[in-house]
C-alpha cells in the first residue's frame, strides 16, 4: 500500500492522489534528468522520527542545487496528512513502521515550478540484518577525498535523485556475495555506504569512542548517525570524525551502517574478512539509537 500526497498551494494540508495511476508529466526534470532531491525517514505508529533533521538536510541539498522548494510548514502538513491516511489504511498485523519519502524535482521543463510530494509505504523488515549483521564490499567511488571542495558542481553531500551509481553499487555487491557496500575515495579514505553512514566503535585505555568519516570528504550528513552520536556522548562516549582508512574498520571493535529506515546494522565482514562483533556492544548502541530517534 502506497499513500501519495502532493504539495500544492491550493491545498494547505497537501493534495492526496491515487498512487496507482500516473501522476508525473513525462517531461518533468526529475524524470528526464534526475534533477531533484529527496529524503527518507522512518515513522512509527504514525509519528515521524526526527523530521526536523531531514527537513534541515533537504534545505541544505536544495541550496546546493539552487532549487526552490516548498516551505517547511507545507512539508510538515503534507507529512501529517500522508501518515494519517496511511494509518487509516493499515491492515491487521501491520508493524506500525512506515517509510516516509519526501521528493522534490525542478518540475516540468520550462515551467519554473517544482514538483513535490510525500510518499508513505510500509517499512521493509530489517530486523534480521540488525541482529545478525551484513557482509560488505569496499568499492572505489571514483573521486578523491578533496573533490567536494575542488568541484562543488559534483553536488557531493547533497541527497539528489541521481542515485543510479548507488543502486549499481548495491547490485554489484549482491552479485558478488555481499549484502551492501562501503565507498572509498581514490586516495584511500573511507566515505559512506550507498544508502548509509559508516560508524565504528573502539575502546583504547578505557576510553570508548565512536567514529564516522569526515563530512568534508563529500559524504552525506547522516541523520541517524548524528542522533546516535548525541545519545552516545550523553552516555559517556567520546566522538571522532575521521579521516578514516579501511584499516581503521578492521582494527575497530565493531562497525555499523546507519540509515533512517534500517537504523543501525552491524557489519560482520568486509571483502570476506571477518570483523570483531560484540552482541553486548551491538545491543547497547542499538538501544541508544532507538532512544535518540
Mean pLDDT of all residues in the chain?
A: 94
CATH ID of 3-123, from 3.30.300.10, 3.40.50.1370, 3.30.930.10, 3.30.470.10: 3.30.470.10
What does DSSP say about strands 238-240 and 273-274: parallel, antiparallel, or unpaired?
unpaired
Which residues of the chain are under the pLDDT cut of 50?
A: none
Residue with cell 487509516: 88
**Residue 93 confidence (pLDDT):** 54
**Residue 141 confidence (pLDDT):** 95
N-to-C CA span, the chain:
25
**Where are the chain's structural domains?**
3-123, 128-292
Are 116 and 6 in contact by the 8 Å Cβ rule? The answer is yes
CATH number attached to the domain at 128-292: 3.20.10.10
Q: Could you read off the pLDDT of 149-161 as tens digits, one per residue?
A: 999 999 998 999 9
Residue 167 CB burial class (10 angstroms; 0-12, 13-18, ≥19): exposed
- Taking CA atoms, 218 is separated from 6, 90, 168, 222, 225, in Å, by 31, 39, 19, 12, 16
Contacts of 179 (CB under 8 A, 6+ apart): 129, 134, 135, 136, 173
Are 87 and 132 in contact by the 8 Å Cβ rule? The answer is no
Global confidence as pTM: 0.92
Amino acid at each position: 500500500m502506497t499513500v501519495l500526497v502532493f504539495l500544492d498551494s491550493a491545498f494547505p494540508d497537501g493534495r492526496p492522489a491515487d498512487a496507482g495511476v500516473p501522476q508525473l508529466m513525462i517531461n518533468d526534470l526529475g524524470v528526464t534528468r534526475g534533477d531533484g532531491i529527496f529524503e527518507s525517514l522512518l515513522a512509527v505508529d504514525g509519528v515521524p522520527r526526527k523530521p526536523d533533521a531531514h527537513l534541515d538536510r533537504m534545505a541544505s541539498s536544495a541550496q546546493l542545487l539552487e532549487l526552490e522548494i516548498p516551505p517547511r510548514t507545507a512539508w510538515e502538513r503534507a507529512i501529517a496528512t500522508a501518515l494519517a491516511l496511511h494509518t487509516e489504511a493499515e491492515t491487521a498485523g501491520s508493524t506500525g513502521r512506515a517509510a516516509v519519502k519526501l521528493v522534490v524535482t525542478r518540475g516540468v521543463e520550462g515551467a519554473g515550478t517544482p514538483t513535490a510530494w510525500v510518499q508513505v509505504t510500509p517499512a521493509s523488515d530489517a530486523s534480521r540484518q540488525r541482529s545478525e549483521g551484513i557482509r560488505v564490499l569496499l568499492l572505489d567511488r571514483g573521486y578523491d577525498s578533496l573533490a567536494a571542495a575542488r568541484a562543488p558542481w559534483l553536488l557531493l553531500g547533497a541527497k539528489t535523485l541521481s542515485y543510479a551509481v548507488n543502486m549499481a553499487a548495491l547490485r554489484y555487491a549482491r552479485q558478488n556475495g555481499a549484502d551492501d557496500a562501503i565507498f572509498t575515495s581514490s586516495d584511500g579514505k573511507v566515505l559512506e555506504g550507498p544508502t548509509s553512514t559508516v560508524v565504528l566503535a573502539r575502546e583504547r585505555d578505557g576510553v570508548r569512542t565512536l567514529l564516522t568519516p569526515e563530512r568534508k570528504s563529500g559524504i552525506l550528513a547522516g541523520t541517524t548517525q548524528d542522533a546516535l552520536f548525541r545519545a552516545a556522548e550523553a552516555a559517556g562516549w567520546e566522538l571522532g570524525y575521521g579521516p578514516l582508512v579501511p584499516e581503521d574498520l578492521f582494527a575497530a571493535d565493531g562497525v555499523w551502517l546507519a540509515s533512517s529506515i534500517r537504523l543501525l546494522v552491524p557489519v560482520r565482514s568486509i571483502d570476506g574478512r571477518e570483523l570483531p562483533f560484540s552482541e553486548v556492544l551491538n545491543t547497547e548502541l542499538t538501544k541508544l539509537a532507538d532512544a535518540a530517534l
